[in-house]
């Protein structure tokens, strides 16, 4: 089978996100309803969700979600996991047979904490240790693929329409304070389970509508910092760029937005001195992380959610607010279907960061 | 007079809804609309009133019908529309009036990016887009004809349009009601303050906007308007054939 990376993938796609600022947990039913309205933006070759706050009973453990092609791959990968982590719990992720969802791989979930001795011997900080383990599995264990590796969050994705994928994983039985969703429209590849959105590393997850013109430049740059773009899809590189800029470089999400959707030089020239210096610094220091081409993205992370359009705003995005809830979607109808009576609704400008944080949160 | 036929759009996908619309004669009211695309596409000679949120490409290729939206509209309203009227009692999304070649669109509130992109005119066909509030960047991009009016209601003291207005513009006119001069314009357009005789061209559409949404036309027209037109020096003239002078 031709996999991602052996062909190009321009995509249409739909994205949606819901966030409770107070941290109130709600069922996945709302995000399913939202993404279902945008059915026609997908073609059945990929759907997925990221859900935050869904594993409070294991919140101190990394929740690894894995696809396996076969039991041999599972066995070898589990040996690796047990060598590197104390596994508190492991089980198959509950799924149900769903029309429109076929050829599912083996799908397993592990709650693990790094082995103390191994971690200290590695001289890495804990999150870097976990990230390195994820890249090791995805790069060196054929038939095994880690598609979720954060704490108290999980990615649920596959090949199918997003509403079918939600039924398959019984997403409405999960409760969290933040959900993001993606409906995919790849036109040049067969689509496979690992290639569906969201793409996630640690607690960072990204859903993306668009196509990155600068993909290869971004990929070469990020690979210099130890990331491996094993999936060769453009969205994967966005997840790594956000992880790199936030976790490794300590940039704020506002600064990250100015890097990946930087204002034009001609716009920067018109800014007041201090603002101009900030933008000149960010554009100069992180020029390889500038993402060009059309995109709208929603990124989830521990304690918050961000959304961003490309600077030319070549993809649509609408934001709605009602009480403590923030809704972000490719189409207004996908917000109105769950909350017809909004306090406020608006369209962010190209390159304008939308950021929501948990009240008293960590982001 | 026949009363409108009501269609409940809840649970209908775009194909089922549009089929129902085509199979129903006369004026209709659509209730519970939620994201169905292409409503009113190619239609003529009737009024379609929509309650809820219609999906993308509302009134695409429309040929004389009237669409009234009691709420907000999404992207690509009036895509390649040939004739008729679209009246939105809320805001519109991106690419409003994409390639519109005739008829008129009235938006009570604001519009997104690229309003009037590729808008054009030919002989008696002169499309009009009126945006009551603000419009996003790239207003009138590649505009080849017709008339765009941005009234900037609620944006007083601020420029009601984004950056790069009129990029690639080579025909038509854009009127922006603003006390502040728009900046960040491309070289292909000229900007001047509209004179009273210039404003005559927008009196009728502004009056129609005021009538539709309950504004004061005289007050709107008495404000300062900036008029954008393609640069008469025509910077494209020798773009591809510099030797043909």
Q: For chain B, which domains are there?
A: 5-230 (2.160.20.60)
Number of Cβ within a 10 Å radius of residue B213: 17
Neighboring chain A residues of B75 at a CB cutoff of 8 Å = 316, 331
Q: A148 CB contacts (<8 Å, ≥6 apart)?
A: A50, A63, A64, A65, A154, A155, A200, A205
Distance of residue B56 Cα from the nearest chain A Cα, in angstroms? 9
- Which residues have CB under 8 Å from A285's CB, separation 6+? none
CA-nearest of A302, A321, A320, A324 to A22 is A324
ipTM given for this complex? 0.91
Cβ burial, residue A100 (10 Å; 0-12/13-18/19+): middle
- Interface mutation vs chain B, best among A12, A347, A348, most B CBs within 10 Å: A347
Specify the 3-state DSSP secondary structure of A124. Answer: coil
Q: How far apart are CA A318 and CA A298, in angstroms?
A: 11
From B72's Cα to the closest Cα of chain A, the distance in A is 8
At residue B244, the pLDDT reads 46
- Number of helices (H) and strands (E), helices first, in chain B? 3, 11
Cβ distance A40 to B37 less than 8 Å, yes or no, reads yes
B112: chain A residues, CB-CB within 8 Å: 313, 316, 347
CB contact under 8 A, B35 and A347: no
User: Which residue in chain A is spatially nearest to B112 when comparing CA positions?
Assistant: A347
Distance CA A317, CA A216 (A): 25
Contact between B72 and A345 using a beta-carbon 8 Å cutoff? yes
- Furthest-apart CA atoms within chain B: distance in Å: 65
Angle CA(A268)–CA(A273)–CA(A279) in degrees, nearest 5?
A: 40
Interface test with B, best of A333, A334, A345 (most B CBs within 10 A): A333
- Contact: A332, B72; criterion CB under 8 Å: yes
Q: Looking at residues B135-153, what average pLDDT do you find?
A: 97
DSSP A182-194: EE--BSSS---GG
The CA distance from A37 to A331, in Å, is 9
The secondary structure element, H or E, covering residue B33 is: strand B28-34
CA A303 to chain CA centroid, nearest Å? 14
Q: Please indicate whether, in this complex, the C-beta atoms of B14 and A38 are within 8 angstroms of each other.
A: no
Active site residue A13: yes
Distance from CA of A105 to the nearest CA of B (A): 31
| Chain A contact present for B79, CB below 8 A | no
Q: Are strands A153-158 and A47-52 parallel, antiparallel or unpaired?
A: antiparallel
Please identify every stretch of chain A with a pLDDT value under 50, giving residue numbers as ranges: 1-2, 5-11, 362-363
CB nearest to B35's CB, from A37, A266, A350: A37
- pTM value is 0.93
Give the span between the Cα atoms of B29 and B68, in whole angstroms.
9
Contact in structure between A269 and A288 (CB atoms under 8 Å): no
Cβ B69 vs Cβ B47: under 8 Å = no
Q: Would the CB atoms of B35 and A331 count as touching at under 8 Å?
A: yes
DSSP character for B124?
T
**What pLDDT is attached to residue B245?**
41
Closest-approach residue (CA) in chain A for B90 = A345
Residue from the list A40, A267, A332 with its beta carbon closest to the beta carbon of B53: A332
Comparing CB atoms, the residue among B74, B136, B162 nearest residue A333 is B74
Q: How far is CA B167 from the centre of its chain?
A: 17
Q: What is the DSSP letter of A339?
A: -
Whether the predicted pLDDT of B23 surpasses 80:
yes
pLDDT bracket for residue B183 (50, 70, 90):
confident
B52 CB neighbours in chain A (<8 A) are: 333, 336
A186 and A46 Cβ atoms separated by less than 8 Å: yes
Q: Is the CB of residue A41 less than 8 Å from the CB of residue A183?
A: yes
Contacts of B17 in chain A (CB under 8 A): none
pLDDT at B221 over 70: yes
> From the CA of B153, how many Å to the nearest CA of chain A?
16
Provide the pLDDT for residue A186: 74
Question: Which residues from chain A sit within 8 angstroms of residue B54, using beta carbons?
Answer: 333
Average pLDDT rounded to a whole number, residues B45-60: 98
Q: Are A312 and B138 an interchain contact pair (Cβ–Cβ within 8 Å)?
A: yes
Active-site residue (options: A13, A77, A133, A229): A13
The pLDDT score that the predictor gives to residue B187 is 85
Residue contact A316–B112, C-beta within 8 A: yes
Q: What is the pLDDT of residue A231?
A: 74
B74 vs A: CB within 8 A: yes
Distance from C-alpha of B67 to C-alpha of B41, rounded to nearest angstrom: 10
Choose among A341, A294, A342: nearest CA to A320: A342
Cβ–Cβ pairs < 8 A, chains A and B: 58
Tokens 């005559």 -> residue: B200
Tell me what pLDDT residue A233 has: 79
Q: How far is A352 from chain B (nearest CA, A)?
A: 13
Name the nearest CA neighbour of A211 among A283, A304, A312. A312
One DSSP character per residue, A149-168 reads --BSEEEEEESS-HHHHHHH
Contacts of A126 (CB under 8 A, 6+ apart): A114, A119
Is residue B225 within 8 angstroms of chain A, CB to CB?
Answer: no
């Amino acid at each position: 089978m031709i996999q991602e990376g052996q062909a190009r993938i321009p995509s249409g796609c739909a994205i949606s996100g819901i966030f409770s600022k107070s941290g109130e947990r709600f069922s996945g039913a709302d995000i399913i309803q939202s993404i279902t309205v945008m059915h026609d933006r997908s073609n059945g070759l990929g759907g997925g969700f990221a859900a935050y706050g869904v594993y409070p009973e294991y919140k101190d453990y990394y929740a690894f979600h894995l696809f396996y092609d076969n039991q041999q791959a599972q066995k070898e990968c589990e040996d690796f996991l047990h060598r590197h982590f104390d596994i508190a719990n492991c089980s198959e992720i509950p799924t149900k047979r769903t029309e429109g969802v076929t050829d599912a791989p083996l799908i397993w979930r592990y709650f693990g904490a790094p082995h103390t001795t191994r971690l200290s011997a590695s001289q890495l900080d804990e999150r870097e240790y976990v990230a390195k383990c994820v890249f090791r599995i995805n790069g060196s264990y054929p038939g095994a693929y880690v598609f979720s590796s954060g704490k108290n969050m999980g990615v649920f994705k596959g090949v199918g329409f997003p509403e079918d994928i939600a039924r398959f994983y019984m997403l409405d039985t999960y409760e969290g304070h933040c959900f993001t969703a993606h409906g995919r429209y790849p036109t040049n590849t067969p689509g496979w389970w690992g290639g569906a959105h969201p793409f996630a590393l640690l607690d960072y997850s990204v859903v993306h509508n668009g196509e990155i013109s600068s993909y290869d430049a971004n990929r070469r740059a990020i690979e210099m910092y130890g990331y491996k773009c094993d999936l060769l899809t453009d969205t994967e590189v966005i997840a790594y760029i956000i992880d790199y800029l936030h976790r490794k470089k300590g940039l704020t999400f506002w600064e990250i937005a100015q890097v990946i959707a930087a204002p034009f030089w001609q716009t920067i020239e018109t800014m007041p001195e201090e603002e101009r210096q900030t933008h000149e610094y960010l554009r100069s220091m992180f020029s390889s992380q500038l993402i060009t081409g059309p995109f709208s993205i929603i990124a989830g992370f521990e304690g918050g959610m961000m959304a961003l359009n490309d600077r030319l705003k070549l993809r649509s995005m609408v934001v709605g607010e009602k009480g403590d809830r923030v809704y972000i979607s490719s189409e207004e109808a996908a917000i109105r279907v769950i909350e017809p009576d909004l306090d406020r609704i608006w369209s962010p400008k190209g390159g304008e960061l939308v950021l929501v944080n948990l009240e008293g949160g960590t982001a | 007079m026949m009363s409108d036929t009501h269609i409940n759009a809840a649970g209908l996908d775009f194909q089922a809804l549009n089929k129902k619309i085509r199979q129903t004669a006369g004026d209709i009211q659509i209730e519970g609309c939620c994201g169905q695309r292409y409503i009113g596409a190619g239609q003529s000679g009737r009024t379609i009133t929509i309650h809820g949120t219609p999906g993308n490409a509302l009134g695409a290729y429309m040929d004389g019908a009237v669409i009234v939206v009691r709420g907000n509209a999404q992207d690509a309203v009036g895509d390649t529309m040939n004739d008729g009227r679209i009246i939105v009692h809320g805001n519109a999304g991106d690419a409003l009036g994409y390639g519109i070649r005739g008829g008129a669109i009235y938006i009570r509130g604001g519009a997104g990016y690229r309003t009037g992109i590729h808008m054009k005119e030919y002989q008696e066909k002169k499309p009009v887009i009126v945006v009551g509030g603000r419009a996003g960047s790239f207003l009138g991009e590649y505009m080849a004809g017709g008339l765009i009016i941005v009234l900037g209601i609620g944006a007083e003291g601020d420029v009601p349009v984004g950056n790069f207005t009129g990029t690639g513009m080579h025909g038509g006119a854009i009127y922006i009601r603003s006390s502040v001069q728009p900046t960040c314009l491309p070289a292909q357009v000229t900007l001047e303050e509209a004179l009273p005789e210039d404003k005559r061209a927008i009196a009728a559409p502004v009056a129609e906007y005021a009538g539709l949404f309950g504004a004061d036309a005289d007050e709107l027209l008495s404000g300062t308007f900036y008029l954008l037109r393609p640069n008469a020096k025509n910077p494209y003239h020798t773009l591809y054939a510099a030797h043909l002078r």
